[in-house]
Structure 1
């Protein structure tokens, strides 16, 4: 089973975007849950319409990605911190409403160390997730100390880990994240490291040793989809159809590696 992040680039209405994703061979999508980054300027791209349009195209929805623009505010004792907490709580409500099992969330980066207030907000998020039956997957970026702190402080089946391969090898290649937190794995973001934009390349076009990565994922026992989070930043010469075909081929190669090494 293979999925792809829906906002991979190109100026396309949602209906066309999801049709192309399905035609490329993907089973499902990861939804960007915001109108930020200009997503709302193209016809038919209200993100709240995404679940229905994706399902009408024959795609299942694996998870949503919560807004990231103010991610560092979560620990702050101000109105921005409260607003961000409320945003995450609403995302949990939205997941329950739209029958989406998981949301992916960014913790603040290393320049914003964790605090008691921040942990209290995480516990509020945990309580809401447990009440509504929604998984909250915390993604690794340049946030190792914060990620480790929260995963070690919050013991809940609803709070887990989203493994991002490109961020791993870009920021903390010496940390064996999958061995540390693979038992709490709830989501994958698979993309390669390298290229002009450093990250979010198609698999097998960067510096990651995918045989090692997929072996470690297999060892966690993770049974979710092989999820691609590549962007078209390094592929401006490709049409959307060509990009999706390369992404699908890469996803199937990753699946084969996972099965071979499991």
Structure 2
């Protein structure tokens, strides 16, 4: 199964976006779960209509991505910290409501060391996720100290790891994240470390050794989709359809590498 992040660029109506994703050959989508980054110009929370429209287009919904703008607030002992924790709890509830298995979350970065109250919030999220049957996948960015701490401290089958290939290559290329946390792998974000933004390029356009990466993913026995999280930032000469066609070709190459564990 191959999937793609739904907000990959271009000004497209959501319904048309999902139809295009399906038409080029993707099986499913990962949904951006907020009105941030210009996704919902109405401000009415219309992103919540996304699951129905994606399913009407024939797409599987792999996960939602929680908002990231205030990610560093989670450790704070103030109202901002409480607001972000409530946002994540609402995301877990939304997963249950919309029958989506997983929510992806960013932990605070290396400039924001973990705190006791922040860990307590993660444990509250774990309790809710266990009760509702939802998985919370913590994504690697420039946050390995916090990511390692939470995965070590929170022993819950509902709190796990979202492996992001581009962030791995960019921030911690010498760390074998899949060996360390592959047993708790719950989601993939596959994109190359390249281009003007230094990340989120199409696979095979940057510095990542994809044969090794997909072999390492296969070694974890993860059964989820091969999921593309590329953006059109360095592909603006392509139309949305051309970008998606290229993305699906790259996804199929990755899927082949993943299926061939001896590559």
- Alignment TM class, shorter chain as reference: over 0.9
CA RMSD of aligned residues (A): 1.3
Conserved? CA contact 1:161–1:181, under 8 Å: yes
Match of 2:188 in 1: 188
Give SS of 2:260's match: helix
CA apart distance, 1:62: 0.3
Match of 2:21 in 1: 21
Q: Deviations over 1:156-210 (max 9, x none)?
A: 0000000000000000001100000000000000000011111000000011000
Which aligned pairs between 1:73-222 and structure 2 lie closer than 5 A? 73-222=73-222
Give SS of 2:18's match: helix
Gaps of 5+ in 2: none
Match of 2:234 in 1: 234
Gaps of 5+ in 1: none
Conserved? CA contact 2:34–2:45, under 8 Å: no
Give SS of 2:237's match: coil
- Distance of 1:181 and 1:113 partners within structure 2: 20
Gap change, CA 1:43 and 1:256, over 3 Å in 2: farther
- Distance of 1:223 and 1:160 partners within structure 2: 14
Conserved? CA contact 2:192–2:207, under 8 Å: yes
Q: Deviations over 1:72-121 (max 9, x none)?
A: 00000110000000000000000000000000000000000001111001
Gap change, CA 1:43 and 1:246, over 3 Å in 2: farther
Q: How many residues align?
A: 262
Q: More deviation in 204-213 or 34-43?
A: 34-43
Q: More deviation in 193-202 or 35-44?
A: 35-44
- Distance of 1:6 and 1:18 partners within structure 2: 8
Conserved? CA contact 2:162–2:185, under 8 Å: yes
Conserved? CA contact 2:218–2:261, under 8 Å: yes
